[in-house]
Amino acid sequence: MPYAMKIQEERLTKIRALELYDQKILDSFEVGTFAGLKDIHGYLFQDIYSFAGKLRTVNVAKGNFRFAPVLYLKEALLSIDKMPQDTFERIIEKYVEMNVAHPFREGNGRSTRIWLDTMLKKELGKVVDWSKIDKEDYLPAMERSPVRNKEIMMLLKEALTDHIDDRQVYMKGIDASYRYEGYDAFKTGDL
């Protein structure tokens, strides 16, 4: 993606991420379902992608990892929707499975991290302070999580906070989440 387009995507989607929080739009979305994730993705990327909030129709891979094949994607999402989310461990298992499903062509990580926090907030009264998790720790842990999820569980558990309504925690989290994906031109607090 050309640099100018990447900058524009970051700016517009971070503004949308702030709207999700400030206007309490996130509160109107289902928690822990693909429908809720679809709403998050659709809202974040509505100004950027024609496929915002739409299930991908192509197979995708990142590096050597192939995400769920399109042929089985709907079934995988139905299974994920049915997964329990009543404990930290089960929520993280659900998060890992959604990452493997990778339902959208682009923007999965940024959307799914917000989705994870909505589950943690609703079920446990906690959110992840993403600014406490370094990219070099997070990305390899996520890559290994389909085989062994203990590492990602430990990273996320150590970064939990009960400051669920703290705008600063949310904004720092959005910035960290975007940094994981190589977007670091704007601080959310400056938009």
pLDDT digits (tens, 9 = 90+) for 139-178: 999 999 999 999 999 999 999 999 999 999 999 999 999 9
Angle CA 131–37–188, to nearest 5: 35
* CA separation for the pair 45, 187 (Å, rounded): 18
User: Can you tell me which residue has the tokens 């339902």?
Assistant: 103
Confidence bin at 90 (pLDDT 50/70/90): very high
Domain ranges for the chain, please list them: 3-190
> What pTM, to 2 d.p., does this model score?
0.96
Q: What confidence score (pLDDT) does residue 191 get?
A: 85
Greatest CA span in the chain, whole angstroms? 42
pLDDT digits (tens, 9 = 90+) for 11-46: 999 999 999 999 999 999 999 999 999 999 999 999
Fill in the amino acid letter for 35.
A
List the structure tokens of 9: 């995507």
Angle CA 164–100–35, to nearest 5: 55
Query: What CATH homologous superfamily does 3-190 map to?
Result: Fido-like domain (1.10.3290.10)
List the structure tokens of 96: 């890992």
Highest mean pLDDT among 6-10, 64-68, 102-106: 102-106
Q: Which of 182, 178, 164 is nearest to 12 (CA)?
A: 178
* CA separation for the pair 147, 95 (Å, rounded): 14
List the structure tokens of 22: 């400030």
